[in-house]
Chain A
Amino acid sequence: MNLHEFQAKRLFAEHGIPIPRGEVAYTPEEAREVTRILGGKAVVKAQVLTGGRGKAGGVKVAQSPDEAQANAEAILGMQIKGLTVNKVLVDELAPGIRQELYLSALIDRGQRQPMIMASAAGGMDIEEVADKTPEKIHIVHIDPTLGVRSYQTNYLAKNMGLPRELWGDFNKIVSGLYDCFKSNDASLTEINPLIITGEGKLMALDGKMSIDDNALSRHPRLAEMRDLEEEPPAEAEARQAGLTFIQLDGNIGCMVNGAGLAMATMDIIKLYGGSPANFLDIGGGARADQVATALRLILSDPKVEAVLFNIFGGITRGDEVARGILAALEQIDTPVPMVVRLAGTNAKEGLELLAEADMMTAATLSEAAQKAVAAAKAARESGRAS
Chain B
Amino acid sequence: MSILVDKNTRLLVQGITGREGTFHTNQMIAFGTNVVGGVVPGKGGQQFDGEKGSVPIFDSVREAAEATGANASIIFVPAKFAPDAMYEAADAGLPLVICLTEHIPVLDMIAVRSYLDRYNTKLIGPNCPGLITPGEAKLGIIPGNIVMPGTVGVVSRSGTLTYEVVYALTQRGIGQSTCVGIGGDPIKGMDFIDVLELFEADPNTSEVIMIGEIGGNAEEQAAAYIKQNMTKRVTSFIAGRTAPPGRRMGHAGAIVEGKSGTAEGKIAALEAAGVQVANNPDQIVEMIAR
On A, residues with C-beta under 8 Å from B are 107, 109-110, 112-114, 127, 131, 144, 182, 185, 187, 212-215, 217-218, 244, 246, 248, 256-264, 266-271, 275-276, 279, 281, 284, 312-315, 343-345, 364-366
Contact = CB atoms under 8 A, between A and B. Distances in A.
A216 to B, nearest CB: 9
Interface string B261-281: 001000000000000000111
Contacts of B111: 144
Contact of A260 (B80, B141, B156): B156
Contacts of A284: 159
B195 interface: no
A91 to B, nearest CB: 26
Interface string B158-171: 11111110011000
B106 A214 contact: yes
B141 A314 contact: yes
Interface stretch (B33-41, B65-73, B208-216, B224-232): B208-216
B30 interface: no
B244 interface: yes
Contacts of B280: 264, 267-268, 271, 365-366
Nearest to B240: A263
A246 B156 contact: no
A261 B158 contact: yes
Contact of A185 (B105, B160, B282): B105
Contact of A246 (B79, B108, B161, B247): B247
Nearest to B129: A314
A127 to B, nearest CB: 4
A138 to B, nearest CB: 18
Contact of B244 (A109, A113, A248, A264): A248
Nearest to A219: B105
Interface stretch (B2-10, B44-52, B88-96, B252-260): B252-260
Nearest to B24: A315
Contact of A312 (B113, B164, B221): B164
Contacts of B74: none
B129 A259 contact: no
Contacts of A185: 105-107
B143 interface: yes
A266 B242 contact: yes
Nearest to A128: B258
A275 B107 CA distance: 36
B103 interface: yes
A269 B279 CA distance: 11
Given A264-B237, A267-B280, A344-B167, 12 more contacts: A214-B106, A215-B107, A217-B80, A259-B249, A260-B157, A263-B214, A263-B243, A263-B249, A266-B242, A271-B279, A314-B163, A364-B282
